[in-house]
Amino acid sequence: MSLPPPNPDERVSAPAPEPAAADPAAPAPVPPALVRSPLSDGEWHRLHPLTPLLRGGLFLIVVIGIVVANFRDRLIEGLFPWMLPSDWDEYAAESDPVDYVLSHDLLLIALLAVAGVLIVLLVLFWLSWRVHTFRITGDDVEVRSGVLFRTHRRAPLDRVQGVNLTRPMVARLLGAAKLEVVGAGLDANVKLEYLSTANAEAVRADILRLASGRQLGEAAAARAAPGSRTQAAVATLGAGLHGLIDGAEAPVAEPDSVVHIPTGRVIAAQLLSGSTLWLLLLVGFLVAGSIYGTPWVLFSIVPTIIGFGTYWFRQITKALRYAIAPTPAGIRVTFGLFTTITETLPPGRIHAVEVSQPLLWRGLGWWRIRVNRLSGRSATDAATEQFSDVLPVGTQADAERVLRLVLPGLPAAELDALFPQGVLGPTGSDGYETTPRRGRWLRPLSWRRNGFRVTSDALLLRSGVLRRALVLLPLARLQSVRISQGPIDRALDVANLTGHTVLGQVSGTLGILDRTAAQQAWAQVAAGAVAAAATDRSHRWDAAEEPS
């Protein structure tokens, strides 16, 4: 039986292809409502075109040093001709590489060699910039780099502890800045170095907004559809060239600081620090040694003073241009004169707070506030101490304003009682369990202040007479709590209480406490930490309310 001929008026439709299965490894799309920068669209982008130059600054300094060392004779002859000895012409003729090249007709070869080195450097710089890319998705911030040895780093957005924006002096002149996405772990930070200043500000805001837990479906301003990767690369290159032409960074909108530190206070605070006391003691020993011993020992004071002067200068310049202000994404801290660093601490990322007052600051009424938070660095890193100070030096009113910023979840009544009862205490009935009578000889000066208090939100540790300090450990961020005893502690029936947080400059240990009181505190803190962690939502600071 034959089939009828096909009707030309009838159209045969092919079966619809089955939809492809979603790739589980594909990155989550970026919600358009949460980003403002075209660099945060989930595609791979390149960094600032001057990134290889800014990152290779140390290498260039070494090259310049080699050149200066080889041409030092001509530099001395041009800058200080009156200091030359009588036989300078003979010495210069023997040691000057320029005269050697000219006298042996090697100028062309030397120029070709210099041109070849420059071309190789330019090619290497171009390759390193070409392969150094980043992208921001709905889940991660990723960076790929390396020519011979490839590196791929990823920072999950739900583990972001903060975003630091650093503007080194040379980069500021070129309109560039670098971002550091602080992750939850040692050496977990992801760096975007460098971006134009405007792009860095927008990308930082996008990362914080994506990491905040804000739900989809928010109303947002319409933005143009992203173009091709070529267009994005051209736009990035154009922004970098504009930054190079414009020079210094464009003005950045900064929120008003709640604290203003005069320059004189910064200098005086550094001069009244513990390092000054050590310097005075050292100078006293050296002077005594020169009087009663060998006089030449006195000459060692000069390099010591130079070293301390350099340290003071660096510490003072780091504390200048200080500002701290609340923003929707968290606490924004800015500091640094030559290298300006802007750090954004989202709520729920601060694990410990310490209010302290060195002895020499007491007459002036100055205080310092430090915090522990995940920084992605080791505790011995010099930058860890720099990032721990959220208030380098301030009055009591300044310290109270900063405490309200870093501890927004603490009830108002507790905040009002921190200074009179905790920092400046003790008072008649402040609720602190102090050192018992049998252990006071181990704390002869501070036994009245040496004590702790447990609230529904925090563990408070008060200590010190010469250096007064109050440590606050939010229970929702507490990792564990420990009671310990040594042989003397067991004999006196006292114990030491330690609240464990992330590594940092703030210590959560308090010793010589009544053993029974410490055990009760251990049970209270353990139960309170579980309850606080179960109800805490500060780490999702911008999340919409979850349905009940």
How does pLDDT run across 235-253, given as a tens digit for each residue? 544 544 444 444 444 445 5
Boundary-marking domain end, from 77, 104, 129: 129
In a domain, 351, yes or no: yes
Does one domain contain both 390 and 502?
yes
Q: How does residue 129 score in pLDDT terms, banded at 50, 70 and 90? A: confident
The answer to whether 121 and 113 have CB atoms below 8 angstroms apart is no
Specify whether 161 is located in the same domain as 182: yes
In a domain, residue 546? The reply is no
C-alpha dihedral (305, 309, 310, 313), degrees to nearest 10: 180
Residue 357 has pLDDT above 80, yes or no: yes
Domain membership of residue 483 (yes or no) is yes
SS (H, E, C) 407-431: CCCCCHHHHHHHHHHHHCCCCCCCC
Task: Report the range out of 89-103, 280-294, 412-426, 530-544 with the highest average pLDDT.
Answer: 412-426
Smallest CA-to-CA distance from 224 within 28, 43, 37 is with 37
328 or 363: which leads in pLDDT:
363
Helix (H, G, I), strand (E, B) or coil at 166: strand
- Picking from 300, 302, 306, the residue whose alpha carbon sits closest to that of residue 286 is 300
Same domain, 379 and 505: yes
Question: Are 291 and 331 members of one domain?
Answer: no
How many CB atoms neighbour CB 543 within 10 A? 12
Query: Cα(528)–Cα(454) distance, rounded to whole angstroms?
Result: 9
C-beta separation of 468 from 356 below 8 A = yes
492, 487, 481: which is closest to 515 by C-alpha?
A: 492
Nearest to 182 by CA among 206, 209, 207, 163: 163
- pLDDT, residue 433, reads 92
The residue type of 390 is V
Residue 445, CA distances (Å) to 56, 156, 365, 451, 464 in order? 54, 48, 21, 13, 8
- Indicate the DSSP class of residue 258: S
Task: Give the mean pLDDT of 84-111.
Answer: 65
353: closest CA among 388, 392, 377? 388
- Owning domain of residue 163: 35-45+133-215+227-246
Give the three-state DSSP class for 147.
coil
Rounded to whole angstroms, how far apart are CA atoms 403 and 354? 10
The pair of structure tokens assigned to 51 is 């990134």
What sign results for the dihedral spanned by CA atoms 177, 181, 182, 187? negative
Q: Say yes or no: 424 and 512 in one domain.
A: yes
Whether 409 and 482 map to the same domain: the answer is yes
Residue 202 lies in a domain: yes
Of 36-45, 97-106, 200-209, 482-491, the least confident: 97-106
Whether 94 has a pLDDT exceeding 60, the answer reads no
Please, what is the average pLDDT of the chain?
77
Together in a domain, 441 and 465: yes
26 found inside a domain: no
pLDDT at 443 over 50: yes
Q: What type of residue sits at position 520?
A: Q
**Distance (Å, rounded) from C-alpha 175 to C-alpha 251?**
10
188: nearest Cα among 377, 355, 5, 22:
377
Q: Tell me what pLDDT residue 106 has.
A: 76
Is 258 inside any structural domain?
no
Distances 7 to 1, 3, 488 between C-alpha atoms, Å: 18, 12, 104
Are 115 and 200 contained in the same domain? Answer: no
Please tell me the distance from the alpha carbon of residue 490 to that of residue 426, in angstroms, as a whole number: 27
Does the pLDDT at position 19 exceed 50? Answer: no
Dump strand ranges (E) for 418-493.
Answer: 433-434, 451-454, 458-463, 468-474, 480-484
User: What is the helix (H) or strand (E) element at residue 327, kind and residue range?
Assistant: strand 323-327
Average pLDDT of the segment spanning 142-154: 86
Q: Are residues 309 and 404 in the same domain?
A: no
302 and 361 together in one domain: no
- 3-class SS at 163? strand
Confidence of residue 182 (pLDDT cuts 50, 70, 90): confident
Going by pLDDT thresholds of 50, 70 and 90, the confidence category of residue 535 is confident
Structurally, the chain folds into a number of domains equal to 4
Locate 524 and state its tokens: 């209270």
Q: Provide mean pLDDT across the span 403-426.
A: 89
CA separation (Å) from 319 to 41, 312, 339? 36, 11, 11
444 with 461: CB under 8 angstroms? no
In the predicted model, is pLDDT for residue 219 greater than 50? no
Q: How many CB atoms lie within 10 A of CB 30?
A: 20
Angle at the Cα of 361 (from 357 to 364), degrees rounded to 5?
Answer: 120
Kindly tell me if the per-residue pLDDT of 226 is higher than 50: no
Highest mean pLDDT among 255-259, 428-432, 466-470: 466-470
Q: What pLDDT, in 10s, does the model give residues 378-408? A: 554 555 566 788 999 999 999 999 999 988 8
Distance CA 17, CA 223 (A): 33
Instruction: Tell me which residue has tokens 């009424």.
Output: 365
Which pLDDT belongs to residue 386? 61
Q: Which of 87, 111, 129 is the last residue of a domain?
A: 129
Q: How far apart are the two ends of the chain, measured CA to CA in Å?
A: 68
How far apart, in Å, are the Cα atoms of 489 and each of 216, 436, 437?
Answer: 56, 12, 13
Helix 274-292 with 263-271: angle, nearest 10 deg: 50
Q: Are residues 173 and 71 in the same domain?
A: no
User: Residue 450 domain-assigned?
Assistant: yes
Tell me, what's the pLDDT at 97?
A: 65
Tell me: do 531 and 431 sit in the same domain: yes
Residue 107, pLDDT score: 75
pLDDT in tens, 283-307: 777 777 777 766 666 666 777 777 7
Angle between helical axes of 263-271 and 301-319 (0-180°, round to 10): 140
pLDDT bracket for residue 429 (50, 70, 90): confident
* For the chain, percent of residues with pLDDT exceeding 90: 22
In a domain, 386, yes or no: yes
Q: Cβ contacts of residue 73 below 8 Å, gap of 6+?
A: 91, 92, 95, 96
The domain boundary, picked from 105, 129, 153, lies at 129
Q: How many CB atoms are closer than 10 A to CB 410?
A: 19
pLDDT given at position 286: 72
Q: Which of 53-57, 70-74, 168-172, 479-483 has the lowest mean pLDDT?
A: 70-74
Rounded Cα gap, residues 318 and 312, in angstroms:
10
What is the signed CA dihedral for 103, 104, 107, 109, rounded to 10 degrees? -170
User: For residue 221, what is the enclosing H or E element?
Assistant: none
Element (H, E) at 512: strand 509-514
Q: Who contacts 306 (Cβ-Cβ below 8 Å, separation ≥6)?
A: none
CATH number at residue 143: 2.30.29
